Amino acid sequence: MENHPVEEPIQSFYEKHLQDMTNRHSKVLQIRYDLRYPTDGNIEYDSKQIRDFSEYMKRDLERNYPLPKDNRKRSSGKTGLDQHQVDPRMIWVKEQHSNSTYPHFHCLALVDGNSKKTSYDIHKRAERQWKNVLGVKQVDGLVDYCDGEKPSSIMIDRNKKDYPNKLQEARQQASYLSKKHGKENLPKRFWKVGGSRIPRED
């Protein structure tokens, strides 16, 4: 783990999802991205926005319609009959620095790695849904793919020898979300972490 103080509830929230997903699926793809607000002051912040985004992303991935082609608003709406279910889990953490007007969000998506192989699909859907939530035409620069120094996605395959190493790598990536720095300015009673619920067993 990174050598910085962490928020234990955030770390625990992530660990529960990681354990549940790796129990359910032989492969789990973890994808990192960040969400930001425009700095032009035209967007009014509402705590409901990140909750809506998380729900829209989950619904989008559950439907798993193909991404629309360039310059088109909608996809064909057709899916393959033999597709794996994506089983998406959304995790978000809110931060705000003392000199920032708006908060920002560090996010993780965990999906069935038999269904999604790379981060491209997740990142493009994140752009689409953040645009919908903010009601803007473009989100250039507002969805950071977090792939500058390292790849933003990690494939965890329990049938491969590197499974323990990939689990550790995934935890290392997620530890950035649970760091205490950047959360000091949030109201004490405000939700710092949120996302999907772990499904109940039938």
Angle ∠(43,48,51) on CA atoms, nearest 5? 120
Distance CA(17)–CA(57), nearest Å, equals 16
- Residue 175 within a domain: yes
Residue 91 to residue 193: CA distance in whole angstroms: 7
- Could you give the CA distance from residue 23 to residue 63 in angstroms, rounded to a whole number? 23
Q: Does the residue 90 lie in any domain?
A: yes
Q: Two tokens at 69?
A: 């082609």
Mean pLDDT over the full length of the chain:
87
Q: Is the dihedral of CA 114, 174, 194, 125 positive or negative?
A: negative
pLDDT digits (tens, 9 = 90+) for 1-54: 445 667 888 999 999 999 999 999 999 999 999 999 998 888 999 989 999 999
Residue 139 pLDDT greater than 80, yes or no: yes
The total number of structural domains that make up the chain:
1
**Would residue 117 count as lying in a domain?**
yes
CATH number at residue 33: 3.30.70
Are 129 and 60 within 8 A, CB to CB?
A: yes
Q: Would residue 164 count as lying in a domain?
A: yes
Q: What is the dihedral of CA 73, 64, 62, 190, to 10 degrees?
A: -50
**Does the pLDDT of residue 182 top 80, yes or no?**
no
**Listed range (6-10, 102-106, 125-129) with the worst mean pLDDT:** 6-10
Across the range 82-105, mean pLDDT stands at 87
pLDDT in the model for residue 187 = 53
* pLDDT given for residue 97 in this prediction: 82
Segment 44-93, tens digit of pLDDT: 999 899 999 999 999 999 999 998 765 555 555 555 444 679 999 999 99
What was the pLDDT predicted at 53?
98
Residue 3 within a domain: no
Q: Write down the pTM of the prediction.
A: 0.88
Could you tell me which residue, 198 or 121, shows the higher pLDDT? 121
Domain ranges, residue 104: 8-65+84-188
pLDDT, average across residues 145-158: 95
58-72, 126-140, 147-161: least confidently modelled range:
58-72
Task: Kindly state the average pLDDT of the residues 124-136.
Answer: 96
Question: What's the average model confidence in pLDDT over 86-107?
Answer: 92
- Lookup: tokens for 22: 């790796």
Percent of the residues in the chain that have a pLDDT greater than 90, as a whole number: 67
Q: Could you tell me if residue 12 is inside a domain?
A: yes
Q: Is position 71 within any domain?
A: no
Domain membership flag for residue 176: yes
